[in-house]
Structure 1
Amino acid sequence: MPTYEALPRFTTDLHHLTPEQRRRFHQAVTRVFIPDLRSGTGFRTALRIKRVRSAPGGVYELTWAGNGRATWQYGLEIVPGVPHIVWRRIGTHDIFAEP
């Protein structure tokens, strides 16, 4: 199981989502993102994971709904050989004003 942390801004953003948005994000992460991360063979195209070019340091975008986005990056491994994810922002396209 990958380890993760959430930046304070992510936590604030998460509290502003509707219950349905939180449910959809949770489903995308638990049913697709984590299994794909574990497999080590790449992410399914349905997640539309891509690098955020305007953000330094290898920040990625995860699409979890039509207008649902989350930004994340790989952090330093806490458990050797297990990916560590740092969640940065979550919401609509508006999060890209400050990824």
Structure 2
Amino acid sequence: MKYRALESFRRDLARLPPQHQKMFMQALREHFLPAIEAGSFAGTPPWPRRLRIHRLSNSEVYSLTWNFASPDGRATFHLDKSEDGEALLVWRRIGDHSIYREP
């Protein structure tokens, strides 16, 4: 699956301490990307419970929790289509619970 990051995501990511960035990347490699490859966007198998992925109410934006404790690590994304018609995952925001004010 292709992806792109909005400027808001890149800005948020740059503000995260290096250790938090590392934790996010680890969650992507170990849980999120394998789930996508296995078909979790289609519902089979379901998303790993560890990531607590859910759709935010009344929107097409999804939330991923990459860490529950300190730091409170969350990211938001939505699905789109690339210019060639392939599925495109768009990263929107990353940080703590406060990103939900403008996901």
CA deviations 1:51-91 (Å, max 9, x no partner) are 1115x3x10000001210000011114566x6421000000
Which residue of structure 2 lines up, in the alignment, with residue 13 of structure 1? 12
Q: Which runs of 5+ in 2 are unaligned?
A: 40-44
Q: Which runs of 5+ in 1 are unaligned?
A: none
Aligned residues: 95
Q: Match of 2:90, SS?
A: strand
Q: Match of 2:25, SS?
A: helix
With normalisation by structure 2, the TM-score equals 0.85
Identity %: 39
With normalisation by structure 1, the TM-score equals 0.88
What is the CA distance between 1:31 and its match in structure 2? 1.1
CA deviations 1:8-63 (Å, max 9, x no partner) are 00000000000111001001111110100010123111110011115x3x100000
Q: Match of 1:43, SS?
A: coil
Letter in 2 for 1:24: M
What is the root-mean-square deviation of aligned Cα atoms in Å?
1.5
Which residue of structure 2 lines up, in the alignment, with residue 73 of structure 1? 78
Of residues 41, 61, 64, the one that matches 1:62 is 64
Say whether the 8 Å CA contact 1:3–1:78 is kept in structure 2: no
Letter in 1 for 2:54: K
Which residue of structure 2 lines up, in the alignment, with residue 22 of structure 1? 21
Say whether the 8 Å CA contact 1:62–1:71 is kept in structure 2: yes
Say whether the 8 Å CA contact 1:78–1:84 is kept in structure 2: no
Which residue of structure 1 lines up, in the alignment, with residue 93 of structure 2? 89
